[in-house]
């Protein structure tokens, strides 16, 4: 092995890992934005194209997550614990995956319309991913980001609690007001997937909090 290759293994990889994590969080934000557009603004005949775009982002996220794993295996010194880097990448990828699953259920079930609760859930997921993205951006300057990071985590937690309330009310309203049993089943499954997405965003916030507590 050449000396430059040997040295590269022992060199801290802030320059490599942090941009990769930022890129992964960017994919998450784009996926969440597309999901919100899918439910809030998209006509039925345009749904397949939006779902295709979300699937493209999910595939890109998988590839990027795999790249992070490979880099971890080939790097001796990392900006913080490799387990934390790996878990953060996994949590972000899980958000992207659940967003894609929600979109694919929309494509599969093709409901006539979406209840307000479903649209509100996509708004919360979108806002949550933006908070995660900002927190990931702040990893580069952890020791200088105390107040800002706490604000992001507090907002992520508040959004998850808001999502729980909207989910519960949305399910109750669905059973009270939806007379078409088939539509009820379709919408219930979609709303449940959206609630999972909100929970995954909150889980990502928790691993970010763990990293902050360890290294700030």
- Could you state, in order of their start, the residue ranges of all structural domains in the chain? 3-215
Please say whether the beta carbons of 120 and 154 come within 8 A. Answer: no
Which class is domain 3-215? mainly alpha
Residue 110 backbone class (left: φ over 0; alpha: ψ -120 to 50; beta: rest): left
Round the average pLDDT of the chain to a whole number and report it.
91
Confidence band, pLDDT 50/70/90 cuts, at residue 41 = very high
Closest CA to 28 of 106, 109, 120, 100: 100
Residue 204 reports pLDDT greater than 50 = yes
Give the dihedral sign, CA 137/142/89/206: negative
**pLDDT tens per residue, range 98-153:** 999 999 999 999 999 999 999 999 999 999 999 999 999 988 887 777 778 889 99
Both tokens of 116, joined, read: 């307000």
Whether the full predicted model's pTM is greater than 0.75, yes or no, is yes
Please say whether the beta carbons of 144 and 55 come within 8 A. Answer: no
Four-CA torsion 91, 41, 50, 160, nearest 10 degrees: 10
Residue 13 reports pLDDT greater than 80 = no
**pLDDT tens per residue, range 52-86:** 999 999 999 999 999 999 988 887 778 788 899 99
pLDDT of residue 144: 72
In terms of C-beta distances under 8 Å and separation of at least 24 residues, what long-range contacts does 78-82 make, across chains too? 78/12, 78/13, 78/17, 79/12, 79/13, 79/14, 79/17, 79/18, 79/139, 80/211, 80/214, 80/215, 81/214
Closest CA to 140 of 67, 207, 79: 79
């Amino acid at each position: 092995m050449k000396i430059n290759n040997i040295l590269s293994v022992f060199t801290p990889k802030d320059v490599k890992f942090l941009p990769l994590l930022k890129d992964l969080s960017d994919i998450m934000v784009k996926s969440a934005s597309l999901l919100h557009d899918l439910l809030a603004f998209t006509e039925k005949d345009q749904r397949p194209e939006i779902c295709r775009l979300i699937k493209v982002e999910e595939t890109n996220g998988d590839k990027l997550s795999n790249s992070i794993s490979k880099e971890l295996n080939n790097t001796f010194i990392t900006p913080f614990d490799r387990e934390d880097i790996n878990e953060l990448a996994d949590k972000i990828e899980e958000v992207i995956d659940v967003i894609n699953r929600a979109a694919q259920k929309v494509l599969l079930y093709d409901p006539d319309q979406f209840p307000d609760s479903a649209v509100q859930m996509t708004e919360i997921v979108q806002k949550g991913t933006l908070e995660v993205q900002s927190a990931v951006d702040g990893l580069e300057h952890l020791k200088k980001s105390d107040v800002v990071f706490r604000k992001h985590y507090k907002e992520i937690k508040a959004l998850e609690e808001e999502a729980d309330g909207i989910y519960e009310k949305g399910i109750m309203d669905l059973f009270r007001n939806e007379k078409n049993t088939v539509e009820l089943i379709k919408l219930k499954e979609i709303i449940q997937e959206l609630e999972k997405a909100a929970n995954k965003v909150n889980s990502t916030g928790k691993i970010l909090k763990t990293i902050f507590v360890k290294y700030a």
